[in-house]
């Protein structure tokens, strides 16, 4: 093999953005033929709002998946975080910062628990995070029948509804979090080590990486991202909502977005940029189908097909690479 | 033994190690000087790998001392050894295929500037490191998964050097390389020598050992036979040191010439990715032994015949009819059975019962419903016949001893009434009693007219059981030996010191 046959390591544009562009183009056309308008102000804004919520969770999910783990507790962390935030604020603008801080700390605590179960106790990530999720579910179901607390009006106005042009502040928050995550992955030792742990834990260990510490950190960050999504949802809804996470299917949807975005479910390959592409793709499909007033159940079928197709395409690519 | 050079980098004295009461190393002494290539040779199972793991921190010795750079050391683990300056290049690389060359080389100790990974610096330093070992064509930002095996090996070496390795262990470094790549490795080894790095070079291949090393240590059965200056020895002498032990165990009588039937399986110029131009005839009633080193194509041959990774070139005939053995299923239907080398991984389903394991092949090949009861009865009879001990048929197989597990695997195949049986290391990891039971069974099967092909690394077993021995090397048949051949003859063919002409066999 000569050096000439080697492609530079720079990743090409993740395939998900090609799919996203195609989806938007086709969607735009179909909606137009249907007599509607895909990119009017209100549809664009609501698309970006949907993307912001899911995106915050999915970026965090990307971190744990890159490290070869998984987090199924995010949906409950979101619900918990809305309640912690809204109840602490209790409608008072003065309590915004402490409330946000407390919600993030509580979320981080859940992440720490997940991380310790996965590393120290060697519980399979699927089971560990599912178990922690059910634990939170028990607490939420027991303590709450419906919305509780009240989000501070200033937060509702800013994070919940304020926009810069058609772009909601919450989406800008997603961009900031994504940029931070991207930076951490490519420019910090933590990021390099995380990808190594996911790629091959044994290689990482033998190279001096402290696998457990890295993975616990990733779990904490993942839960904090979910907590942030909860704070955003609380500011959207104006109160804490004990079932918002599960009803929004944030656990499975975030994993789907990560996978559609090209991150290997087994870890070691991928990144947050692709994940945001996956989130936008899922949100766009939502928006298009809403415009076309497609049956909700049929919508689910299409989403399922897209997720499977994405994974199949990546699997084929991986096979070609290996050959 | 020659005098050790004045200031050794590594000194081993009286190293001993046992696993589960089995002594795998006993009283090993060995030195490596800076800039020296010290080769370690020995048969499969001589203890080379264990010794290397002790030097590189993978195991700690039960007895003896390890002195590195003048200080006594007991490494707490591979990382500890790396930090001290001992690098090891495994046969299987420890690299992340999805990451770049530079990211792999500096994994775990990435250069940092102001708290952030200095990517440019990392690339520059990787380039310098590669250039210092004469590698200028390999881009530091290429993804490792895209590189060829030889280049990945260079990355491994660079990774060790980035940690300032002063002693580098190379475990069968050429096993995965093509011929022209071996030359590149030679150049690399010499440049490492010039830098004053000591090398422990483990290899089966005597040609390389003679090309590269200044001293050679021969291990056999966990003991050091001798250490010689390479210039003062010959390949024949080394081979004599590597083998030569008393043939004491009992083996069943061989087949008389008149018992050998017609050719069952005939391979003509057969090959695939791992094999080339294999010509081989397997007769009914005989046990054909397959010798050779690990990775020489022995298992690849069995796996090709059984359709796991089928032949892609050449012709295969079964009872004089051409066949294409595309998958294990077609092979099974053609009457071929394969007892794999990796019993735990490929032979048994650990959590299923003895009976389920024994019925696995029958259930897979025969129609679901018909004759189910009869088959179960037959398999139960077979399990009794092969004398599976210490367990009911309903016990999970993982609780059985290795020997009994192997008997269950045998029963599974016998239930199909195979006409050709392929055994890959049939007695590896099995106690002595079960071993001779399996030997008797193999011979009985041949006597009843089956054609048996048996791969074995255990030379006494190979010599004791086989009616003929075919020795493989580098994916092709290196030669054939008749019953009564010596260990030296087998090893000479396997390592390539004998000329590749088969001794005429009485057929």
User: How confident is the model over B59-73, as pLDDT tens digits?
Assistant: 899 999 999 988 999
Q: What is the pLDDT of residues B388-407, one digit of tens each?
A: 876 678 888 888 877 888 88
Q: Touching check for B142 and chain A: CB below 8 Å? A: yes
Cβ contacts of B83 on chain A, cutoff 8 Å: 208
Residues recorded for chain A = 323
A42 within some domain: no
A323 within some domain: no
Q: Touching check for B119 and chain A: CB below 8 Å? A: yes
Exposure pattern of A154-164 as b/e (b: 16+ CB <10 Å)?
Answer: ebbeebbeeee
Top-level CATH class of B10-242? alpha beta
A23 within some domain: no
Q: What is the mean pLDDT of residues B257-283?
A: 91
Examine the pLDDT at A278 and tell me if it is beyond 80: yes
Q: Touching check for A319 and chain B: CB below 8 Å? A: no
Q: Touching check for B449 and chain A: CB below 8 Å? A: no
Asked if A255 and A57 count as a contact pair (C-beta separation under 8 A), the reply is no
Using the beta-carbon criterion (under 8 Å), do A269 and B98 form an inter-chain contact? yes
d(CA A45, CA B348): 58
Nearest CA in chain B to A7: B142
Using the beta-carbon criterion (under 8 Å), do A321 and B145 form an inter-chain contact? yes
**Nearest to B281, CA basis, from B472, B412, B453, B500:** B453
- A154, two tokens: 């200033």
Top-level CATH class of B250-335+418-507? alpha beta
Return the top range by mean pLDDT from A34-48, A217-231, B159-173: A217-231
Domain with CATH 3.40.50.300 in chain B: 10-242, 250-335+418-507
Average pLDDT, chain B: 87
Asked if B15 and B64 count as a contact pair (C-beta separation under 8 A), the reply is yes
Looking at the complex, report in whole angstroms how far the Cα of residue B239 sits from the nearest Cα belonging to chain A: 35
- Name the residue among A186, A195, A206 with its Cβ closest to that of B78: A206
Q: Touching check for B74 and chain A: CB below 8 Å? A: no
**pLDDT at residue B369, rounded to an integer:** 63
Using the beta-carbon criterion (under 8 Å), do B94 and A207 form an inter-chain contact? yes
Candidates B108, B156, B176: best to mutate against A (most CBs of A within 10 A) is B108
Q: Quick one: CA torsion of A92, A96, A98, A100, rounded to 10 degrees?
A: 130
**pLDDT at residue B380, rounded to an integer:** 87
Asked if B299 and B457 count as a contact pair (C-beta separation under 8 A), the reply is no
Please name the residues between 202 and 231 in chain A that touch chain B, using a CB distance below 8 Å: 202-209
**Nearest to B278, CA basis, from B260, B303, B261:** B303
- Name the residue among A6, A193, A206 with its Cβ closest to that of B79: A206
Using the beta-carbon criterion (under 8 Å), do B108 and A321 form an inter-chain contact? no
Using the beta-carbon criterion (under 8 Å), do A3 and B108 form an inter-chain contact? no
User: Largest Cα–Cα distance in chain A?
Assistant: 67
E-state strands within A157-304: 163-164, 167-168
Average pLDDT, chain A: 90
A117 within some domain: yes
Share of residues in chain A with pLDDT > 70 (%): 94
Work out the pLDDT band at A9, boundaries 50, 70, 90: very low
Using the beta-carbon criterion (under 8 Å), do A200 and B115 form an inter-chain contact? no
Looking at the complex, report in whole angstroms how far the Cα of residue B107 sits from the nearest Cα belonging to chain A: 6
Asked if B111 and B129 count as a contact pair (C-beta separation under 8 A), the reply is no
Q: Quick one: CA torsion of A275, A277, A281, A284, rounded to 10 degrees?
A: 120
d(CA B239, CA B499): 14
Q: Touching check for A323 and chain B: CB below 8 Å? A: no
Cβ contacts of B141 on chain A, cutoff 8 Å: 8-10
Q: Does the pTM exceed 0.90?
A: no
d(CA A314, CA B131): 36
A279 within some domain: yes
Using the beta-carbon criterion (under 8 Å), do B139 and A195 form an inter-chain contact? no
**pLDDT at residue A321, rounded to an integer:** 57
Nearest CA in chain B to A196: B96
As to burial, measured by CB atoms within 10 angstroms (0-12 exposed, 13-18 middle, 19+ buried), residue B345 is: exposed
**pLDDT at residue B506, rounded to an integer:** 37
d(CA B354, CA B483): 36
Asked if B35 and B196 count as a contact pair (C-beta separation under 8 A), the reply is yes
A172 within some domain: yes
Classify the complex by whether its ipTM is higher than 0.95, answering yes or no.
no
Using the beta-carbon criterion (under 8 Å), do B98 and A195 form an inter-chain contact? yes
Q: What is the pLDDT of residues A148-158, one digit of tens each?
A: 999 999 999 99
**pLDDT at residue B507, rounded to an integer:** 35
**pLDDT at residue A7, rounded to an integer:** 41
Using the beta-carbon criterion (under 8 Å), do A188 and B117 form an inter-chain contact? yes
- Name the residue among A1, A189, A208 with its Cβ closest to that of B151: A1
**pLDDT at residue B134, rounded to an integer:** 84
Q: Which residue has the tokens 């106005």?
A: A157
Nearest CA in chain A to B100: A9
A20 within some domain: no
Cross-strand bridge partners of residue B477? B472
Q: How far out from the chain centre does Cα B376 lie?
A: 36
Give SS3 for B259: helix
Asked if A69 and A265 count as a contact pair (C-beta separation under 8 A), the reply is no
Using the beta-carbon criterion (under 8 Å), do B148 and A268 form an inter-chain contact? no
d(CA B325, CA B321): 12
Q: Touching check for B126 and chain A: CB below 8 Å? A: no
Dihedral over Cα of B52, B57, B58, B60: its sign: positive
Work out the pLDDT band at B249, boundaries 50, 70, 90: low
What H or E segment, with its residue span, contains residue B205? none
Work out the pLDDT band at B30, boundaries 50, 70, 90: very high
Q: Domain residues for A54?
A: 49-312
Q: Determine what percent of chain A falls in helix, strand and coil, rounding each to the nearest 5.
A: 75, 0, 20
Q: Which residue has the tokens 């069943």?
A: B252
Q: Touching check for A257 and chain B: CB below 8 Å? A: no
Examine the pLDDT at A12 and tell me if it is beyond 90: no
Nearest CA in chain B to A209: B108
Examine the pLDDT at B45 and tell me if it is beyond 80: no
A8 within some domain: no
User: Residue B386: what are its φ and ψ, rounded to 5°?
Assistant: -85, 0
């Amino acid at each position: 093999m000569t050096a000439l046959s080697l492609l530079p390591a720079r990743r090409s544009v993740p395939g998900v953005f090609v799919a996203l562009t195609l989806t938007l183009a086709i969607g735009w056309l179909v909606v137009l033929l249907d007599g509607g308008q895909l990119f009017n102000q209100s549809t664009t804004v609501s698309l970006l709002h949907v993307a912001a919520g899911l995106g915050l969770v999915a970026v965090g999910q990307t971190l744990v998946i890159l490290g070869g783990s998984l987090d199924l507790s995010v949906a409950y962390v979101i619900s918990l975080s809305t309640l912690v935030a809204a109840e602490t604020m209790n409608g008072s603008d003065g309590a915004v910062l402490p409330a946000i801080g407390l919600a993030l700390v509580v979320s981080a605590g859940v992440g720490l628990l997940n991380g310790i179960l996965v590393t120290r106790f060697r519980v399979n990530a699927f089971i560990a995070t599912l178990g922690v999720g059910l634990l939170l579910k028990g607490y939420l179901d027991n303590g709450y029948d419906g919305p509780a607390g009240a989000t501070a009006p200033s937060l509702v106005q800013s994070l919940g509804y304020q926009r810069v042009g058609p772009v909601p502040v919450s989406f800008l928050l997603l961009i900031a979090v994504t940029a931070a995550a991207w930076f951490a992955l490519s420019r910090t030792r933590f990021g390099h080590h995380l990808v190594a742990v996911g790629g091959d834990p044994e290689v990482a260990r033998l190279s001096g990486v402290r696998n457990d510490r890295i993975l616990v950190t990733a779990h904490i960050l993942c839960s904090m991202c979910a907590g942030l999504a909860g704070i955003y949802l609380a500011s959207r809804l104006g109160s804490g909502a004990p079932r918002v996470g599960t009803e929004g299917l944030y656990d499975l949807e975030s994993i789907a977005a990560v996978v559609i975005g090209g991150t290997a479910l087994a870890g070691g390959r991928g990144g947050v940029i692709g994940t945001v592409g996956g989130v936008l793709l899922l949100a766009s499909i939502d928006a298009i189908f809403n415009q076309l007033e497609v049956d909700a159940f049929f919508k689910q079928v299409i989403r399922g097909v897209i997720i499977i197709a994405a994974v199949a395409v990546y699997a084929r690519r991986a096979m070609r690479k290996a050959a | 033994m020659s005098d050790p050079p004045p200031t050794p980098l590594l000194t081993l004295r009286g190293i001993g190690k046992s696993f589960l009461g089995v002594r795998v190393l006993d009283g090993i002494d060995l030195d490596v000087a800076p800039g020296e290539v010290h080769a370690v040779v020995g048969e499969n199972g001589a203890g080379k790998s264990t010794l290397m793991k002790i030097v590189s921190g993978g195991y700690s010795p039960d007895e003896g001392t390890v002195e590195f750079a003048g200080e006594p050391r007991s490494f707490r683990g591979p990382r500890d050894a790396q930090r001290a300056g001992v690098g090891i290049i495994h046969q299987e690389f420890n690299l992340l295929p999805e990451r770049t060359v530079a990211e792999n080389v500096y994994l775990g100790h990435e250069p940092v500037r102001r708290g952030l990974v200095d990517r440019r610096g990392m690339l520059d330093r990787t380039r310098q490191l590669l250039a210092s070992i004469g590698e200028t064509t390999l881009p530091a930002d290429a993804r490792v998964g895209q590189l060829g095996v030889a280049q990945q090996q260079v990355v491994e070496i660079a990774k060790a050097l980035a940690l300032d390795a002063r002693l580098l262990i190379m475990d069968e470094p050429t096993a995965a390389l093509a011929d022209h790549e071996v030359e590149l490795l030679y150049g690399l080894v010499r440049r490492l020598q010039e830098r004053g790095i000591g090398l422990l070079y483990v290899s089966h291949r005597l040609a390389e050992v003679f090309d590269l090393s200044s001293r050679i240590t021969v291990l056999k059965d966990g003991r050091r036979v001798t250490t010689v200056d390479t210039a003062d020895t010959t390949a024949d002498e080394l081979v004599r040191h590597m083998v030569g032990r008393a043939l004491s165990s009992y083996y069943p009588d061989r087949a008389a010439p008149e018992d050998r039937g017609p050719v069952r399986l005939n391979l003509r110029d057969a090959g695939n990715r791992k094999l080339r131009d294999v010509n081989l005839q397997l007769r009914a009633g005989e046990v054909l032994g397959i010798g050779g080193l690990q990775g020489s194509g022995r298992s690849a041959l069995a796996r090709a015949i059984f359709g796991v990774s089928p032949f892609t070139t050449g012709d295969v005939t079964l009872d004089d009819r051409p066949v294409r053995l595309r998958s294990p299923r077609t092979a099974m239907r053609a009457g071929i059975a394969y007892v794999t080398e990796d019993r735990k991984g490929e032979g048994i389903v650990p959590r299923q019962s003895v009976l389920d394991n024994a019925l696995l092949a029958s259930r897979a090949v025969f129609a679901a419903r018909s004759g189910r009861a009869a088959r179960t009865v037959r398999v139960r009879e077979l399990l009794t016949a092969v004398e599976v001990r210490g367990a009911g048929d309903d016990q999970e197989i993982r609780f059985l001893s290795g020997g009994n597990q192997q008997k269950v695997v045998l029963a599974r195949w016998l239930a199909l009434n195979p006409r050709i049986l392929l055994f890959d290391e049939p007695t590896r990891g099995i106690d002595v009693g079960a071993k001779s039971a399996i030997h008797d069974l193999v011979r009985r099967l041949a006597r009843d007219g089956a054609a048996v092909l048996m791969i074995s690394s255990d030379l006494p077993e190979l010599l004791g059981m086989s009616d003929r021995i075919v020795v493989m090397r580098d994916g092709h048949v290196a030669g054939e030996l008749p019953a009564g051949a010596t260990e030296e003859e087998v090893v000479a063919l396997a390592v390539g010191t004998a000329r590749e002409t088969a001794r005429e066999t009485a057929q």
